[in-house]
């Protein structure tokens, strides 16, 4: 059978040729994929992944066919104009675009350091508080998880006095920063240590819903954006429903005074501010109409007395009781609010060290804050118990 070996040899050659062609195609595909992952341009990251409805300070973008995203943060501190910071979250082996000059987080963060208690509240809201390994001022954080895991969570100190040795020892994947009147002083040191960071600028938002929406940006860094969208979605619905019910029902809006002296100054927020919007949405009338800017302004003691004397309600009063208020601020002892007992403090959920959950979870629960204020101004409209506020007795 002399022809059989030649047939087998011919078949073997065809198989080898086909296999060689397949291998080349596969290699080209792999190279193309690798080049696509490592050679992407920053210009490719223009596909909207999440565009906020209420917040003005962030957006999340991606690229066609890419698993990675970029969290863009605009004007992240007071006075910033045209400043944009970017965090590239590299997923599925993808690399940051060539020439990318922002921060790079490799994979979803598993270990996070929070420089503000609101960051903890946002992670808690999306069931990711377990990622927190470090905080600033642990005694003043009211979150139950943080309080019960103090042995595993490090306190890194405060801006200007950060314990970098402890911070490095926590081995964080990401640090959540905030800026006040400029960039955080931590930036250069974090860059030197190779620790990625991202600014969280929720405190700059004037919309109560805009503040809460920042939970989506924070959740993106730990791979829980979808969960954050689900958590956030009903908050505007509840907020707007109550706001509309108040607007349709209330005829008379009580005049409302805010705050108490801080040191030697008494600061009154703008009429467009977060707290003024809450007062208006709850059916109140913010009594100080002169400040139409974008920042709180100080008033003198005489003006404060006149405003308080004319107000129907006085909220966010830093006092334990009416007697404590009279003792600390005797000039206000005979004002109408104090005489009538219409004085309220948002300290119902305060821990032993004085940490106040109103400034923590209240930021991600504006619907509950609004409900409390409606109960103060128009108690006939709300039957639920107070969450954050209490009346001074």
pLDDT range class, residue 14, cuts 50, 70, 90? low
Query: Residues 237-253: pLDDT tens digits?
Result: 999 999 999 999 998 99
CATH number of 235-391: 3.40.50.1980
Residue 294 has pLDDT above 80, yes or no: no
User: How far apart, in whole angstroms, are the C-alpha atoms of residue 293 and residue 243?
Assistant: 24
Residue 12 pLDDT exceeds 60: no
Mean pLDDT of 1-27: 46
- Would you tell me how many other CB atoms lie within 10 Å of the CB of residue 72? 17
CA 38 vs. chain centroid, Å, equals: 31
- The three-class DSSP label of residue 24 is helix
pLDDT at residue 79 in the model: 86
Residue 363 has what pLDDT? 97
Q: Specify the range with the lowest mean pLDDT, choosing from 155-159, 187-191, 263-267, 346-350.
A: 263-267
pLDDT-wise least confident of 3-17, 48-62, 114-128: 3-17
pLDDT at 292: 84
The token pair that represents 187 in the structure block:
């930036």
DSSP string, 279-296: HHHTT-EES--S--SSS-
CA distance 362 to 369: 6
Could you tell me the two tokens for 229?
């969208």
Output the pLDDT for position 348: 97
Query: What is 86-129 written as a DSSP string?
Result: EEEEE-TT--PPTT--SEEEESS-SSEEESSHHHHHHHHHTT-G
Residue 286 pLDDT more than 70?
yes
Dihedral sign from CA coordinates of 218, 219, 223, 226: negative
- How much is the pLDDT for 87? 98
Contact 201, 58 (CB under 8 A): yes
Give the residue-averaged pLDDT of 175-200.
96
What is d(CA 285, CA 246) in angstroms, rounded to the nearest whole number? 13
Return the percentage of the chain with pLDDT > 90, whole number: 82
Q: How many other C-beta atoms can be found within 10 angstroms of the C-beta atom of residue 87?
A: 23
Task: Please give the Cα distance from 210 to 57 (Å, whole number).
Answer: 9
Q: In the chain, what are the domain boundaries? A: 42-232, 235-391
Strand partners, 48: 61
Does residue 211 have a pLDDT over 70? Answer: yes
Q: Looking at the structure, give the CATH architecture of the domain made up of residues 42-232.
A: 3-Layer(aba) Sandwich (3.40)
Nearest to 212 by CA among 179, 238, 236: 236
- Mapped onto helix, strand or coil, the DSSP state of residue 230 is helix
pLDDT tens per residue across span 147-159? 999 999 999 999 8
pLDDT tens, 35-84?
334 456 878 999 999 999 999 999 999 999 999 999 999 999 988 899 99
Check residue 34 and give its pLDDT.
43
Residue 139 has pLDDT above 90, yes or no: yes
Pairing mode, strands 197-199 and 174-177? parallel
Listed in sequence order, the residues at least 6 apart from 350 whose beta carbon sits closer than 8 Å to its beta carbon are 142, 356, 357
- Mean pLDDT (the chain) is 90
């Amino acid at each position: 059978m002399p022809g059989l070996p030649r047939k087998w040899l011919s078949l073997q050659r065809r198989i080898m040729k086909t296999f060689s062609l397949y291998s080349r195609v596969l290699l080209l595909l792999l190279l193309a994929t690798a080049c696509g992952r490592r050679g992407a341009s920053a210009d490719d990251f223009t596909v909207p992944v999440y565009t906020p409805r209420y917040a003005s300070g962030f957006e999340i973008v991606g690229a066609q066919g890419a698993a990675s995203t970029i969290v863009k943060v605009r004007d992240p501190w007071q006075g910033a104009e045209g400043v944009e910071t970017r965090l590239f979250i590299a997923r599925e082996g993808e690399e940051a675009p060539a020439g990318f000059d922002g921060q790079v987080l490799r994979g979803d963060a598993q270990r996070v350091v929070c420089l503000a208690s609101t960051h903890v509240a946002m992670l808690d809201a999306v069931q990711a508080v377990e990622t927190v390994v470090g905080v600033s001022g642990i005694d003043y954080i009211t979150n139950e998880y943080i309080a019960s895991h103090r042995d595993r969570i490090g306190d890194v100190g405060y801006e200007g006095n950060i314990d970098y040795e402890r911070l490095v020892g926590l081995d964080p994947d990401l640090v959540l920063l905030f800026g006040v009147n400029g960039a955080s002083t931590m930036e250069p040191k974090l860059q030197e240590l190779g620790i990625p960071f991202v600014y969280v600028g929720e405190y700059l938002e004037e919309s109560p819903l805009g503040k809460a929406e920042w939970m989506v940006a924070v959740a993106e860094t730990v791979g829980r954006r979808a969960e954050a969208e689900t958590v956030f979605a009903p908050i505007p619905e509840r907020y707007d429903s109550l706001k509309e019910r108040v607007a349709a029902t209330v005829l008379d809006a009580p005049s409302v005074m805010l705050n108490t002296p801080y040191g030697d100054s008494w600061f009154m927020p703008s009429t467009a501010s977060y707290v003024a919007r809450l007062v208006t949405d709850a059916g109140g009338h913010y009594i100080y109409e002169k400040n139409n800017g974008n920042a709180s302004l100080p008033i003198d003691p005489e003006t404060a007395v006149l405003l308080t004397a004319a107000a129907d309600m006085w909220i966010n009063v830093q006092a334990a009781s009416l007697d404590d208020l009279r003792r600390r601020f005797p000039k206000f002892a005979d004002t109408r609010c104090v005489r009538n007992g219409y004085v309220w403090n948002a300290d119902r959920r305060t821990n032993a060290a004085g940490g106040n959950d109103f400034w923590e979870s209240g930021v991600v629960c504006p619907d509950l804050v609004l409900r409390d204020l409606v109960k103060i101004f128009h108690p006939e409209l709300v039957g639920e118990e107070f969450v954050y506020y209490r009346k001074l007795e």
